[in-house]
Structure 1
Amino acid sequence: MSDEARLLAEIHAARALMRGSGPAREAETGPSAAALWAYAIRAADGPVDLAVVRAIRTDPATARRYRALLAGQAIAHAPLAVAASDGAVTIRRVGAFTLEILPASEDGPPLLVLRGEEARALRAIEALLGDEIVRLDLPQALDDAIVVALDPEVPEAARLGAMLRDPACAVFLL
């Protein structure tokens, strides 16, 4: 074997060692970028990869990678949105959008009203607080506003409302 061929073989072997084997490397560094991306672009009502969810909840490095992927595809996001409340209404700014939570009335649940010029482009909202992740599909916008009922009978909607009231909650508008 020539010196050039041996050098190419050694380079190829070194690359293979650096890449590591699939399952062994995943156990060391968490889910692959492809697995995190698939989770980041999932439909709100679609199936989830529980291994990815577990990794996001338990591994801070994986959680940071996931948030970076979400931020990259989000129309607007606020890593730690500041909340202001007068007790009756909670208002938050997320990029160019305003999120307002109106209290429950006698004939309806609390409402999330999302306003912004680009509201028609939004398809989902995702909130992250601690190790909790909630994603809801958004309905069509009417006059640059989206209204979502935070019905206590729908666990995801009720939890989203509670999370959005917390100033430490990260919000991604997708």
Structure 2
Amino acid sequence: MSDEAARLLAEIHAARALARAATPATRPGVAALWAHATRDPGGPVDLATVRAIRADPGTARRYRALLASQAMAHAPFAVAASDGPVASRRIGAFTLEILAATEDAPPLLILRGSEARSPRLIEVILGDETLRVALPPPIEGAILLALDPAVPEAVRLGAMLRDPACAAFLL
């Protein structure tokens, strides 16, 4: 190995050591995670917090714990079942169903629960992707949300909820 290659290798190891030492300092604090967990859908986000949640498994666990603490119900992964055109899963005391599209109607998300209070938001996490969507008020005890193919966010919500590895939080 030449002296130049050895020097370059030593610099790489030193840079890695500095990067590992700097990681805890770049982790967002509880206040930043709480602000992110209580944000409004479509509102501004702190990109440093989002980056930390995606890149650092410890930060991601802390964020999910904060979400779970404020959620009415959550499922860290889906116990998904599908029967033909209907996909359903339980999220705490709630049942979530996705009815397949028909010729004249888009897919429909139906959320039913026995809770007196209804969730206002749903946040789903799949891998490093997070999606937060506002839910409409319930109609006769059920929340209905059209998963319109013309709305990319709605299409992605349906796709993520169908994946068994997807975590779901009802807030």
TM-score, scaled relative to structure 2: 0.83
Inter-partner Cα distance in structure 2 for 1:97 and 1:158: 21
Shift of 1:86: 1.8
Q: CA RMSD in A?
A: 1.7
Whether the 8 Å contact between 1:118 and 1:144 is mirrored in structure 2 is no
Aligned match of 2:44: 47
Task: Specify the code of the residue in structure 1 equivalent to 2:139.
Answer: L
In structure 2, distance between residues paired with 1:163 and 1:122: 19
State the distance in 2 between where 1:58 and 1:156 align.
23
The question of 1:138 aligning with 2:124 is answered no
Residue number in structure 1 paired with 2:16: none
1:36 aligns with 2:33: yes
* Other-structure match for 2:62: 65
User: Which residue is 1:167 aligned to?
Assistant: 164
Aligned length: 151
CA distance in 2, matches of 1:167, 1:89: 15
**Structure 2 residues not aligned, in runs of 5+:** 1-20
Which residue does 1:100 correspond to in 2? Answer: 97
Deviating beyond 6 angstroms after TM superposition, the runs of 4 or more aligned structure 1 residues are: none
The share of aligned pairs that are identical, in percent, is: 70
Distance in 2 between residues matched to 1:100 and 1:164, nearest whole Å:
10
1:112-127 → structure 2 map (5 Å cutoff):
112-118=109-115, 120-127=117-124
User: TM-score normalized by structure 1?
Assistant: 0.82
Q: What is the aligned counterpart of 1:89 among 83, 86, 89? A: 86
> For residue 11 of structure 2, what is the aligned residue in structure 1?
none
| Match in the other structure for 2:53 | 56
After superposition, the C-alpha distances for 1:106-163 in whole angstroms (9 at most, x for unaligned) are: 1121010000122743100000000000010000001110000111221111111000
- Name structure 1 gaps, 5 residues minimum: 1-23
